[in-house]
Chains A and B, each alone.
Chain A
């Protein structure tokens, strides 16, 4: 009968094995899992030239119209980044589409995920609205739908027509690099970054051509060329998130020229 009795010692043994198993699982799992965005195929990136940006805000409006963004939310705000001589330097901030995106890592239900082309996407049908992604994003790129967006979009039709569904109340939303324009354009045989119908709306609308879009894996794409030939930086590079949005810093000589 003693064999059938559960002694304290046995219990602790079981506990030990159970704990070791759990710890083992926890250690092994992440190493096998995909830890950052895929890097093959096309890798979309955006370059924003701060020498050219005048802070006109057309990109904000085009984004609002094409993605049907509520007036309470801005996917792509333009900030003042300082003065250069007499001119103000601006910094537009879309989603950085990080290669190691904190929002993707922390989402409990994988509602945020990497597309094969590096775009960080949101599945608005899966999201439970916990807002952990918002807490984790270093760029404030996510906005929560605190209210229902009903009624008309003031940016439509002047700045474009909505190409995607409105997001429901209770989920965060963010810039998607206008994935719908890229996908539709590729299906039509267009080249994103070259043909504006296949390029994010903010790029096409910019009156001074401050934004470039293209494939980082293609050495001949306009973004690859510009990044090869000019100094550039990314926001909060110290965090190791690997943003796909590059900035060409404003320089005094270029401003004067």
Chain B
């Protein structure tokens, strides 16, 4: 193509897309292999039926929590100047929830029947509730993201009317924020309760599970959005960030971290002073056994204590590098928490034969699990970078028009 010879083919951007393309291709192959051969080619067993994919699923949902919490802050609690960050968070959320869907489709034994949860309701099941909330919330996110897709240059030129309609959806942002807050509060905590109600596994069976999931999701979700925005701001001119705005939210994350640390530490401590069979063993697996590094270093030190310092100490917070590092560590710590939490309940095998000793099992993901899991993450990264490049996802100079003229007669519908 001599005509295009002045266009540089090898740029960091094309290299990045190429790399992501490779990971996606490998993962697509692995995923198809799973659909064809079945879950027998994973390292999942009857003792550890949920593994890497469920961790990706839980983490994607947790790290998407910036969307509902920041939208609630902006549209319900009047913190309007953070609206550009909430936009980014909404897009991150849209990506995260679709990532979770992909992981679930891989993980369930009968992906052809995924829609059964919509038809056959078991309102007793936490997983049913989570499925419904996630589906509904994904719909909310699609609506919330419409104004973002309206920024697509091609769409604006080719279908200006459609772009205008999509843009207009932001008038409903407050309503969507309410629904999003409700649905997210439900399923973010219900995901914790999914584990918390399992009486057969004493290390999970505790009420604070939902609190921990909710809190860690908010902390991690906001952190990921801030980190992604800052990273985009450093890598491309397409991303325009307002550093002061980010710094303010980062400080808020620092304070939230104290709360999260408080609950997580008490959770571990409270488990210490119990001798319920299975609980002490679970704690042992986590603090001294195979998960000890993850727990002490991944979750506690790097996931909470270090970023707490980095985000609350003014000098490190003001330094973009240290702030980015802190935010990244928080998000990674939440992923570590999800992994530890899921696996710790399985590694301890509770006996049901009287007098039998507690046994232990182990799990490490197989290559197909890794490859397909990596592809899900690569899909997320690709989608975000395309968003930054073409949809002005990270653009703090972009201010939406006022949204207060929504034509809803709240006074008539709310009887107080």
Closest to B76 in A: A11
Task: Determine if A138 and B116 form an interchain contact, defined as CB atoms under 8 angstroms apart.
Answer: no
Q: Which residue of A4, A22, A102, A106 is within 8 Å of B186 (Cβ)?
A: A22
Q: Which residue of B107, B174, B199, B413 is within 8 Å of A138 (Cβ)?
A: B199
Task: Determine if B110 and A19 form an interchain contact, defined as CB atoms under 8 angstroms apart.
Answer: no
Q: Among the listed stretches B19-27, B117-125, B307-315, which one makes contact with chain A, having 4 or more residues with CB under 8 Å of it?
A: B117-125
Among residues 107 to 150 in chain B, which have CB atoms less than 8 Å away from a CB atom of chain A? 107-110, 113-114, 116-117, 119-128, 131
Any B CB within 8 A of the CB of A17: yes
Any A CB within 8 A of the CB of B416: yes
Task: Determine if A108 and B117 form an interchain contact, defined as CB atoms under 8 angstroms apart.
Answer: yes
- What is the distance, in angstroms, from B260's C-beta to the closest C-beta of chain A? 23
Task: Determine if B50 and A15 form an interchain contact, defined as CB atoms under 8 angstroms apart.
Answer: no
Q: Among the listed stretches A38-46, A121-129, A185-193, which one makes contact with chain B, having 4 or more residues with CB under 8 Å of it?
A: A121-129
Q: Which residues from chain B contact A93 at a C-beta distance below 8 Å?
A: 352-353
Q: Which residues from chain B contact A127 at a C-beta distance below 8 Å?
A: 109-110, 113
Among residues 57 to 101 in chain A, which have CB atoms less than 8 Å away from a CB atom of chain B? 79, 81-82, 91, 93
Q: Among the listed stretches A145-153, A209-217, A224-232, which one makes contact with chain B, having 4 or more residues with CB under 8 Å of it?
A: A145-153
Docked complex Cα distance between A67 and B179 (Å): 48
Task: Determine if B131 and A108 form an interchain contact, defined as CB atoms under 8 angstroms apart.
Answer: yes
Task: Determine if A6 and B174 form an interchain contact, defined as CB atoms under 8 angstroms apart.
Answer: yes
Interface size for chain A: under 10, 10 to 19, 20 to 34, or 35 or more residues? Answer: 35 or more
Among residues 194 to 232 in chain B, which have CB atoms less than 8 Å away from a CB atom of chain A? 194, 197-201
Q: Which residues from chain B contact A22 at a C-beta distance below 8 Å?
A: 182, 186
Any B CB within 8 A of the CB of A14: yes
Q: Which residues from chain B contact A240 at a C-beta distance below 8 Å?
A: 199
Task: Determine if A144 and B200 form an interchain contact, defined as CB atoms under 8 angstroms apart.
Answer: no
Task: Determine if B353 and A144 form an interchain contact, defined as CB atoms under 8 angstroms apart.
Answer: no
Task: Determine if A15 and B181 form an interchain contact, defined as CB atoms under 8 angstroms apart.
Answer: yes
Any A CB within 8 A of the CB of B406: yes
* Residue of A7, A13, A108, A239 with highest tally of chain B CB at under 10 A: A108
Q: Which residue of A79, A82, A105, A170 is within 8 Å of B125 (Cβ)?
A: A105
- What is the distance, in angstroms, from B49's C-beta to the closest C-beta of chain A? 4
Q: Which residue of B38, B45, B182, B186 is within 8 Å of A147 (Cβ)?
A: B38
Any B CB within 8 A of the CB of A184: no
Task: Determine if B117 and A109 form an interchain contact, defined as CB atoms under 8 angstroms apart.
Answer: yes
Closest to A123 in B: B120
Task: Determine if B109 and A131 form an interchain contact, defined as CB atoms under 8 angstroms apart.
Answer: yes
Q: Which residues from chain B contact A257 at a C-beta distance below 8 Å?
A: none
Task: Determine if B353 and A107 form an interchain contact, defined as CB atoms under 8 angstroms apart.
Answer: no
Any A CB within 8 A of the CB of B78: yes
Any A CB within 8 A of the CB of B2: no
Docked complex Cα distance between A147 and B119 (Å): 27
Task: Determine if B127 and A108 form an interchain contact, defined as CB atoms under 8 angstroms apart.
Answer: yes
Task: Determine if A4 and B46 form an interchain contact, defined as CB atoms under 8 angstroms apart.
Answer: no
Any A CB within 8 A of the CB of B274: no
Task: Determine if B410 and A19 form an interchain contact, defined as CB atoms under 8 angstroms apart.
Answer: no
Docked complex Cα distance between A7 and B182 (Å): 19
Among residues 339 to 396 in chain B, which have CB atoms less than 8 Å away from a CB atom of chain A? 345-346, 350, 352-356
Task: Determine if A110 and B126 form an interchain contact, defined as CB atoms under 8 angstroms apart.
Answer: no
Task: Determine if B110 and A144 form an interchain contact, defined as CB atoms under 8 angstroms apart.
Answer: no
- Chain B, interface SS category: loop
- What is the distance, in angstroms, from A15's C-beta to the closest C-beta of chain B? 5
Task: Determine if B186 and A13 form an interchain contact, defined as CB atoms under 8 angstroms apart.
Answer: no
* Contact A135 B405, CB 8 Å, known A148-B38, A236-B352: no
Any A CB within 8 A of the CB of B3: no
Docked complex Cα distance between A5 and B403 (Å): 10
Closest to A171 in B: B109
Q: Which residue of B76, B110, B346 is within 8 Å of A12 (Cβ)?
A: B76
Task: Determine if A135 and B125 form an interchain contact, defined as CB atoms under 8 angstroms apart.
Answer: no
Docked complex Cα distance between A14 and B416 (Å): 10
Task: Determine if A147 and B40 form an interchain contact, defined as CB atoms under 8 angstroms apart.
Answer: yes
- What is the distance, in angstroms, from B101's C-beta to the closest C-beta of chain A? 13
Docked complex Cα distance between A227 and B92 (Å): 60
Any A CB within 8 A of the CB of B75: yes
Among residues 76 to 110 in chain B, which have CB atoms less than 8 Å away from a CB atom of chain A? 76-78, 107-110
Closest 5 CB pairs of A and B: A129-B109, A170-B109, A138-B200, A10-B410, A108-B128
B residues whose Cβ falls under 8 Å from a Cβ of A: 38-40, 44-46, 49-50, 75-78, 107-110, 113-114, 116-117, 119-128, 131, 174-175, 177-179, 181-182, 185-186, 194, 197-201, 345-346, 350, 352-356, 404-411, 413-414, 416
23 of the cross-chain contacts (CB-CB < 8 Å) are: A4-B408, A5-B404, A11-B75, A13-B416, A19-B185, A30-B123, A33-B123, A79-B353, A102-B199, A108-B117, A108-B125, A109-B120, A109-B121, A126-B120, A128-B113, A130-B127, A131-B49, A135-B198, A138-B200, A147-B38, A148-B38, A169-B38, A239-B199
